[in-house]
Amino acid sequence: MSGTTSGTCVDWVHFDTPQDIFNQAGVVVIGKPLSQDGQTSIYGYTAQTHLVKIEKVLKGDTGANTMQISAMPETCTGGVSYPDGDPLETSRRLIIFLTKDDGKWFTFTPAQGVLSFDNGTALPFHQ
């Protein structure tokens, strides 16, 4: 997926553990992407938006059973939003760490915004 090449370069924080991400994220959910649902823009880059079925809210409040969530794009990539692939372009069950920008939900960071979370798996953090 391409974005603009004049976007802002963001220096993303790296979290050492899933607990660290959970502690910093405002909203954390378990959900499953259902379909692509358009695009939006953040930091001058194109972000793919997905319709996500929310199974459980682990932290914060979403107020919805389904949500539009955009995968936070990489920046400083020469206009490519997802050089390693869109993390929400999956049919797997996920833990999704969220942030809100201008009324829109995004994964917390490009590289650490989602974790695969199969049924029967223990949470990788304490609530």
Q: How confident is the model at residue 63 (pLDDT cuts 50, 70, 90)?
A: confident
pLDDT digits (tens, 9 = 90+) for 77-115: 877 889 889 999 999 999 999 999 999 999 999 999 999
> What Å distances lie between residue 29 and 5, 6, 44, 57, 61, CA to CA?
32, 32, 26, 4, 9
Query: What span, in angstroms and rounded, lies between the C-alpha atoms of 17 and 83?
Result: 23
pLDDT of amino acid 76: 85
Residue 14 in tokens: 């790296």
pLDDT of amino acid 44: 86
Mean pLDDT of 5-32: 90
pLDDT greater than 80 at residue 116: yes
Q: How confident is the model at residue 2 (pLDDT cuts 50, 70, 90)?
A: very low
- The pTM of the whole model exceeds 0.85: yes
| Residue 93 CA to its chain's centroid (Å) | 13
Please provide the distance, in angstroms rounded to a whole number, between the alpha carbons at the two ends of the chain: 35
Mean pLDDT of 114-121: 96
The total of other beta-carbon atoms located within 10 Å of residue 42's CB is 20
pLDDT of amino acid 3: 43
Reported in sequence order, the residue ranges of the chain that DSSP labels E, i.e. its strands, are 27-42, 45-59, 66-70, 94-101, 104-107, 114-116
